[in-house]
Structure 1
Amino acid sequence: MGVISTVFLILITILFPPLGVWAVAGCGADFLINICLTVLGYLPGHVHAFYIIYVYYERKEAAMAGAIPTRDAPGIYSHRVNTGGVRGYGTLQQQSGPGQV
């Protein structure tokens, strides 16, 4: 299933780059930047879109292997892309001080 969705995402990105970015990063700064780059020229929109998709899948594979990236990728503003789609659930607990339960 993962290979089919990746191929489908690449085909969508070839036809219309902002749609591929929206599928991976959602509606945010990366999506708006890609729309602007696509309007300015079709090639810059493609380069930006494929860079975002590459970083997303690279970080997703690293997260599945247990290596969580510590820094954001340069030029990418989406938290979803920078973490590879892995969501944190706030596992850190607040320590209670004296008199707190």
Structure 2
Amino acid sequence: MRDNKAVTCLDILIAIILPPLGVFLKFGCKVEFWICLVLTLLGYIPGIIYAVYTITK
């Protein structure tokens, strides 16, 4: 079983590299993913901010 902090760090790293993928791995194809995808298409930085926020909340 993996440590919860290690999983969160890995999720955040994925969210920084490719924000929609990080959100998709955490929530699936729900509304959070679509919001992150739109924000990433509008600008990479807003996508990262939203992805890290949704993963850590």
Task: Provide the TM-score with structure 2 as the length reference.
Answer: 0.85
Larger Rg: 1
Task: Provide the TM-score with structure 1 as the length reference.
Answer: 0.51
Q: Hey, what's the Cα distance between the residues in 1 that align with 2:13 and 2:50?
A: 15
CA RMSD of aligned residues (A): 1.0
* CA deviation map 1:11-40 (0-9, x unaligned): 101100011111211111110111111011
**Structure with the larger helix share:** 2
Higher relative contact order (CA 8 A, sep 6+): 2
Q: Among residues 5, 8, 12, which one is paired with 1:6 in the alignment?
A: 8
Following TM superposition, the consecutive aligned residue runs of length 4 or more in structure 1 with deviations greater than 6 angstroms are none
**How many residues end up aligned between the 2 structures?**
55
Percent pairwise identity:
44
Q: Which residue of 1 aligns with 2:34?
A: 32
